[in-house]
């Protein structure tokens, strides 16, 4: 990782609010002051524009940071879904750094807590890297994405959650195997292509139309009774919401996409995650081992007393 790439990485993250906007406003204010008043007032106009823009930016940033960003209703919906789930397969386009946002940590804690319960609940996740630069940064030393990636890999390994990944070229190659109506149901096409004059542009390869596809941030959940539902996650800044919960025929495009992803990521014979797509092993950590289910408290007490576990008491 060159020093130049590190500097560019930092600059692109902080330059808009802290450099380009104040500089642009300052230059505009300078030109206005020069035309209206002339003389040394142009410098007063420049610095006034810079400080005024900083004040406005700080106001909106502080307002954003102090806003309630946890949707209690979405948390309850997630918990109700997890309580009766036996399998949870998540697709995530969230940048690595945002996994450690406090709001995301609340959602992730519920998922990890469900995984640690002593039953046969299965949890898998695939990271979708629509940005090749972000993936390269995740593998390079001395940048934040590498640190965040290692921490995320640690968390999933400690909870025995397989964590795989796909890069941009591979994502669009899988999406190209879907039918046009399935792509539309997944939200792959830009909204402006819904207009009749632009619908023909859908024949253009998706990788040229979309930089990223936020609608693919979702989870396919299989419940204990066999019902399959889809939770569509909506993330805007620090706010996270479960936008929709799909059921019935609406889940079919998602289950087909998951099937295609699993065929790509897993060995057809051993059913194990291939090493080249294992996000955890890419950092040099051991692969996830399926642990034997831990006994419940009732079973442990019963075993120590050499008796059969008592039956559940119906309310």
Report the alpha-carbon distance of residue 129 to residue 241 in Å, rounded: 21
Range among 16-20, 58-62, 191-195, 277-281 rated most confident? 277-281
In this predicted structure, the answer to whether residue 197 has a pLDDT above a threshold of 80 is yes
Phi and psi at 89, nearest 5°, equal -115, 115
- Of the chain, the percentage scoring pLDDT greater than 70 comes to 81
The answer to whether the beta carbons of residues 242 and 82 sit under 8 Å apart is no
In this predicted structure, the answer to whether residue 107 has a pLDDT above a threshold of 60 is yes
pLDDT computed for residue 305 by the predictor: 44
The answer to whether the beta carbons of residues 278 and 163 sit under 8 Å apart is yes
* Per-residue confidence band for 51, with pLDDT thresholds at 50, 70 and 90: confident
The more confident residue out of 179 and 23 is: 179
pLDDT computed for residue 222 by the predictor: 94
CA dihedral 231→234→235→239, nearest 10 degrees, is -100
Average pLDDT, rounded, for the chain: 81
In this predicted structure, the answer to whether residue 300 has a pLDDT above a threshold of 70 is no
In this predicted structure, the answer to whether residue 306 has a pLDDT above a threshold of 80 is no
pLDDT computed for residue 220 by the predictor: 94
Q: Tens of pLDDT along 285-297?
A: 877 765 544 444 3
In this predicted structure, the answer to whether residue 314 has a pLDDT above a threshold of 90 is no
Full-model pTM: 0.74
* Per-residue confidence band for 1, with pLDDT thresholds at 50, 70 and 90: very low
The more confident residue out of 39 and 210 is: 210
């Amino acid at each position: 990782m060159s020093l130049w790439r590190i500097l560019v990485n930092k600059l692109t993250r902080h330059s808009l609010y802290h450099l380009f906007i104040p500089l642009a406003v300052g230059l505009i204010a300078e030109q206005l002051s020069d035309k209206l008043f002339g003389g040394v007032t142009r410098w007063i106009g420049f610095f006034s524009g810079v400080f005024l823009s900083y004040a406005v930016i700080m106001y909106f940033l502080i307002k954003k940071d102090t806003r309630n960003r946890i949707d209690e209703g979405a948390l309850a919906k997630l918990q109700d879904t997890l309580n009766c789930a036996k399998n949870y397969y998540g697709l995530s386009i969230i940048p690595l750094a945002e996994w450690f946002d406090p709001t995301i940590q609340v959602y992730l804690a519920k998922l990890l807590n469900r995984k640690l319960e002593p039953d046969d609940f299965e949890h898998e996740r695939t990271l979708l890297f629509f940005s090749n630069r972000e993936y390269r940064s995740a593998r390079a030393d001395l940048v934040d994405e590498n640190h965040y990636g290692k921490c995320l890999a640690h968390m999933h390994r400690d909870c025995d959650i397989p964590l795989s990944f796909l890069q941009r070229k591979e994502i669009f190659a899988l999406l190209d195997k879907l039918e046009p109506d399935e792509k539309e149901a997944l939200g792959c096409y830009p909204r402006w292509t819904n207009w009749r004059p632009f619908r023909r542009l859908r024949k253009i390869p998706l990788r040229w139309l979309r930089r990223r596809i936020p609608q693919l941030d979702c989870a396919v959940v299989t419940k204990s009774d066999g019902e399959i539902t889809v939770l569509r996650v909506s993330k805007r800044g620090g706010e996270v919401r479960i936008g929709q919960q799909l059921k019935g025929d609406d889940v079919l495009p998602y289950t087909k996409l998951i099937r295609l992803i699993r065929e790509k990521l897993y060995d057809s014979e051993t059913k194990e995650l291939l090493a080249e797509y294992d996000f955890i092993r890419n950092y040099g950590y051991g692969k996830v081992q399926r642990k034997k289910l831990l006994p419940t408290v009732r079973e442990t007490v019963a075993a120590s007393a050499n008796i059969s576990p008592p039956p559940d008491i119906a309310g």
